[in-house]
């Protein structure tokens, strides 16, 4: 008789499948209105601009980023901005409806160097050393914690030596340090001032945050450590606005890459806006 194998790997895969199914359902439902929301959210626009600035820093006028992959691209706020400086951008998203929105926007703007791929980030497979830049904006905090590490390690494999990883995201711990507590308290005050609708968002997001359903952010320091463990060098972290930050790093092996010790990673503090950059509904 054949033996059942329901060990940790099987359990982990099942949990991942459930998480992917939930994300696909959520973003399929939000696709129609997402572009309007993202385009009118000052915080999100600020983070997109920070990711673009980081990804293109050091480029000479007219120099191309090469081949770029945008993980969790949604309707393309970051994808289309980078397409203007890249040879090709591959937009990857779990939602086919989101990617149709992206394709329509690219066509309307006359952008022809964008390709779309429907795939969960957790299960994306690309040829080794085939990519120059991997970016993600406000997507990876939706992944389960083990899958964040898998995605970053996979990105290290896809990148050519000297290639760059740039992550813009909600980077917030659960209040273990004073900086996190200040951000959480400020966010609660902002939402509470909006009356019953804001109170409802406080309650809903608190459940998501504590139980880690839908919202699974890591602190900035945790992201830095995760990226370093995946073999990246020249890791840098910058707060952008409210709870959002950008972490960038270089795939080892390029002509100018240099290992940087964990205690030497530079950080900058964030500015604050009324809306912040929270993508929660």
| 67, 132 Cβ separation under 8 angstroms | yes
CA dist list (Å): 71 to 128, 142, 154, 168:
16, 12, 12, 11
User: What is the chain's percent helix, strand, coil content, to nearest 5?
Assistant: 45, 20, 35
Residue 164 pLDDT greater than 50, yes or no: yes
Looking only at Cα atoms, what is the longest distance across the chain? 67
CA dihedral 247, 72, 208, 222 (to 10 degrees): -20
Residue 193 pLDDT greater than 80, yes or no: no
Catalogue the E-assigned strands of the chain: 67-71, 88-93, 114-118, 131-137, 159-170, 232-241, 244-251
Binning pLDDT at 50, 70 and 90, where does residue 1 land? very low
13-22, 60-69, 128-137: least confidently modelled range? 13-22
Binning pLDDT at 50, 70 and 90, where does residue 167 land? very high
* Superfamily, domain 8-172+215-264: Vaccinia Virus protein VP39 (3.40.50.150)
Q: What pTM does this model have?
A: 0.81
Strand partners for 168: 137, 246
Distance CA 102, CA 163 (A): 25
Tokens 């659960």 — which residue?
174
pLDDT value of position 204: 61
Compute the average pLDDT of residues 62-74. Answer: 97
For residue 160, what are the contacts with CB-CB under 8 A and spacing of at least 6?
129, 130, 131, 132, 251, 254
Residue 260 pLDDT greater than 50, yes or no: no
Residue 174 pLDDT greater than 80, yes or no: no
Residue 99 pLDDT greater than 80, yes or no: yes
Distance CA 11, CA 9 (A): 5
């Amino acid at each position: 008789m054949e033996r059942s194998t329901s060990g940790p790997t099987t359990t982990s895969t099942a949990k991942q499948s459930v998480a992917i199914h939930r994300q696909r359902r959520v973003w399929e439902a939000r696709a129609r209105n997402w572009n309007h929301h993202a385009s009118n959210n000052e915080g999100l626009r600020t983070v997109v601009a920070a990711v673009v600035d980081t990804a293109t820093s050091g480029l000479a006028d007219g120099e191309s980023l090469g081949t770029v992959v945008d993980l969790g691209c949604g309707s393309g706020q970051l994808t289309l901005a980078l397409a203007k400086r890249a040879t090709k951008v591959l937009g990857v998203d779990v939602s086919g409806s989101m990617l149709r929105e992206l394709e329509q926007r690219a066509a309307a703007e006359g952008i022809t160097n964008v390709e779309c791929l429907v795939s969960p980030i957790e299960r994306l497979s690309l040829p080794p050393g085939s990519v120059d830049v991997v970016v993600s904006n406000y997507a990876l905090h939706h992944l389960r914690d083990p899958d964040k590490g898998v995605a970053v390690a996979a990105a290290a494999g896809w990148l050519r030596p000297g290639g760059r990883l740039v992550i813009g995201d909600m980077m917030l711990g659960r209040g273990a340090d004073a900086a996190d507590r200040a951000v959480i308290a400020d966010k609660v005050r902002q939402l509470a001032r909006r009356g019953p609708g804001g109170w409802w968002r406080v309650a809903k997001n608190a459940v998501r945050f504590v139980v880690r359903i839908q919202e699974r952010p890591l602190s900035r320091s945790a992201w830095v450590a995760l990226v370093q463990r995946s073999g990246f060098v020249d890791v840098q972290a910058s707060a952008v606005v409210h709870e959002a930050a950008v972490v960038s790093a270089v795939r080892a092996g390029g002509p100018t890459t240099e290992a940087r010790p964990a205690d030497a990673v530079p950080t900058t503090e964030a500015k604050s806006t009324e809306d912040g950059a929270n993508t929660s509904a």
